Amino acid sequence: MGYKLLLADDDRDLVKMLSGYLELKGYEMITARDGLETLKKVEENPDLILLDINMPFMDGMEVMRRIREQISCPVLFLTARAEEEDRVNGLLAGGDDYILKPFSLRELEARIKAHLIREERSRGRKMVRAADELYLDYSAREVRIGEHVLELTRTEYEIVEFLSRHPGQVFDRERIYERVSGYDARGDSRSVTELIRRIRKKTEEITDTEYIETVWGMGYRWKK
Amino acid sequence: MGYKLLLADDDRDLVKMLSGYLELKGYEMITARDGLETLKKVEENPDLILLDINMPFMDGMEVMRRIREQISCPVLFLTARAEEEDRVNGLLAGGDDYILKPFSLRELEARIKAHLIREERSRGRKMVRAADELYLDYSAREVRIGEHVLELTRTEYEIVEFLSRHPGQVFDRERIYERVSGYDARGDSRSVTELIRRIRKKTEEITDTEYIETVWGMGYRWKK
DNA sequence: GTGGAATGTGATATACTTGTAAGAGCAAAG
DNA sequence: CTTTGCTCTTACAAGTATATCACATTCCAC
């Protein structure tokens, strides 16, 4: 969450779909449609780059080489070519991963996450204090209050992570729901009420402190 | 896993890609871009060295000779030259292996592992306590619970070693699968479920203690 | 190649999580 | 202090992830 991704591909539909999906997932998206545009956008310092190999004006490999002269963030190649040779070439040019089309959104997201986490870890980030006695470990997806570990389910954890990353800001159920559930979510935002109740119930067993505040008629906010 | 590798090559892209890949696989990487830098970095006592033959300032062969005066760890030559003569020279200079570019990542990793294992074995075994009554012998790739030896297959062992080296941290199937099988592995991460079931079944026969915990919707973790 | 072990796959059962609905409880506005 | 509308609580239904099992495939040593 809170990461900036650069997506470079000449397939409009793919770009639209992917960036829509990833935005929903909380990423900030920059897009480019050809090699030259990509190089220009690189100046905005994305945290990770998704790069198509076949693009007009300058192909992905060449773009790759030039990117490396500018910044050092993870680069994931997207491509339809399946040959082993290409795979090696892509990686040799300095790419960090190689994803074959067609790919599943889920797999793509998993790999993006993996690379962002690795990048973060190599920069040495670990436990983050989100409030008072409450700590988050993003890579372990773990929440602790003092010495106690909060046993949260996936969505519960997502809500805590999302809200605590924007302390003091009020979000309505709709927005929270969008962020924490998938693109293909089935239910509606009323379930956020329930999820938050469950989180509160679990924190209550450990401490009296209230972390998530109800803002009447508007939504919820993380209490700093 | 948990090993320190020194990668010496003057090709920036290659270095970036390889060290990125090997870091993902859990190795700690040191890099050098020329002969002199290599000799300096050797002082950090890597467990294994990947050495390019053609480098500025001092070529790989010369570096090799000087390394041997300092430490005795496996040295793998990386080179584009395919001639038999060079191969013989490289090995004569004290190199332990000889890998021709372009090489597949999978093969490289396999060879690195092979040499590290051989090295550890010749240095004698040491048992590491991974939990409670459970001990790992990295060089023998053996797991014991009390006096009982766990008969694990290769992949099963890899999973136990990987998870136990990061106790308490949650990994999803995807990441476990990446670590434990080759980069271009054939199957998918669902098999991790099955492998973990098999590990659990084997430990169950010895003790009631649960070592691998399921974290619903997130993955698995080694119980501290 | 052949045979046996290891790994992967698919189907089904089970466990757990998330979503839904209905009523009770509360805060705000008149 | 009553009405209105939102939120909390509770119980349950629906949905999703994991465990298990049997079998297929791949790998490896011979």
Residue B27, token pair as written in the block: 């190795």
- Domain co-membership, A180 together with A94: no
SS3 A15: helix
- Domain co-membership, A111 together with A159: no
Q: Which whole number is the average pLDDT over B19-39?
A: 86
pLDDT beyond 50 at A92: yes
pLDDT beyond 60 at A164: yes
| Tally of domains in chain A | 2
The verdict on a CB contact (< 8 Å) between A74 and B20 is yes
- Residue B174: list chain A partners with CB under 8 A: 107, 110-111, 114
Instruction: Of A87-91, A142-146, B131-135, B212-216, give the range with the top mean pLDDT.
Output: B212-216
* pLDDT at site B44: 81
Q: Which whole number is the average pLDDT over B117-140?
A: 72
The verdict on a CB contact (< 8 Å) between A140 and B169 is yes
pLDDT averaged over every residue in chain B: 81
Measured between CA atoms, how close is A212 to chain B, in angstroms? 23
* pLDDT at site A49: 92
- CA-nearest residue to A126 within chain B is B169
Select from B16, B178, B216 the Cβ nearest to the Cβ of A94: B16
- Domain co-membership, B147 together with B52: no
The residue among B102, B122, B142 that closes a domain is B122
Query: What is the spatial distance, in angstroms and rounded to an integer, between the CA atom of B16 and the C1' atom of C28?
Result: 61
Query: What is the spatial distance, in angstroms and rounded to an integer, between the CA atom of A197 and the C1' atom of C25?
Result: 15
pTM of the model: 0.58
- Domain co-membership, A25 together with A102: yes
| Residue ranges with strand state E in chain A | 4-8, 28-32, 48-52, 75-79, 97-100, 127-131, 134-137, 142-145, 148-150, 170-171, 212-215, 219-222
SS3 B72: coil
Degrees, nearest 5: CA angle A61-A64-A68: 150
Q: Which of A150-159, B107-116, B202-211 has the lowest mean pLDDT?
A: B107-116
Q: In this complex, which protein residues place their C-beta within 7 A of any atom belonging to strand D?
A: A 173, 186, 193-194, 196-197, 200-201, 214, 216-219; B 173, 186, 193-194, 196-197, 200-201, 214, 216-219
- Domain co-membership, B101 together with B185: no
- Domain co-membership, A117 together with A174: no
Domain containing residue B116: 4-122
Q: Which whole number is the average pLDDT over A36-46?
A: 84
Quickly state the pLDDT bin for A171 (edges 50, 70, 90). Answer: very high
Query: What's the rounded Cα separation, in Å, for the pair B175 and B167?
Result: 15
- Domain co-membership, B211 together with B159: yes
Higher pLDDT: A99 or A13? It is A13
- Domain co-membership, B114 together with B27: yes
Q: pLDDT, tens digit, for every residue of A146-163?
A: 888 888 999 999 999 999
Beta-carbon contacts of A25 under 8 Å, excluding residues fewer than 6 positions away, are A109, A179, A182, A183
CATH code, domain with B53: 3.40.50.2300
- Domain co-membership, B165 together with B148: yes
Q: pLDDT, tens digit, for every residue of A95-145?
A: 667 776 767 676 688 778 777 766 665 544 467 788 888 988 876 788 989
Higher pLDDT: B3 or B104? It is B3
Select from A91, A141, A153 the Cβ nearest to the Cβ of B17: A91
Cβ proximity of A44 and A30 under 8 Å? yes
CATH code, domain with B198: 1.10.10.10
Q: Which whole number is the average pLDDT over B62-90?
A: 68
- Residue A72: list chain B partners with CB under 8 A: 16
- Domain co-membership, A117 together with A184: no
**Percentage of chain A modeled with pLDDT above 70:** 77
The residue among B76, B106, B122 that closes a domain is B122
Measured between CA atoms, how close is A92 to chain B, in angstroms? 5
- Domain co-membership, B68 together with B143: no
Query: What's the rounded Cα separation, in Å, for the pair B4 and B21?
Result: 14
- Domain co-membership, B93 together with B158: no
pLDDT beyond 70 at A38: yes
Quickly state the pLDDT bin for A84 (edges 50, 70, 90). Answer: very low
pLDDT beyond 90 at A25: no
Beta-carbon contacts of B7 under 8 Å, excluding residues fewer than 6 positions away, are B15, B18, B19, B22, B29, B30, B31, B32, B49, B50
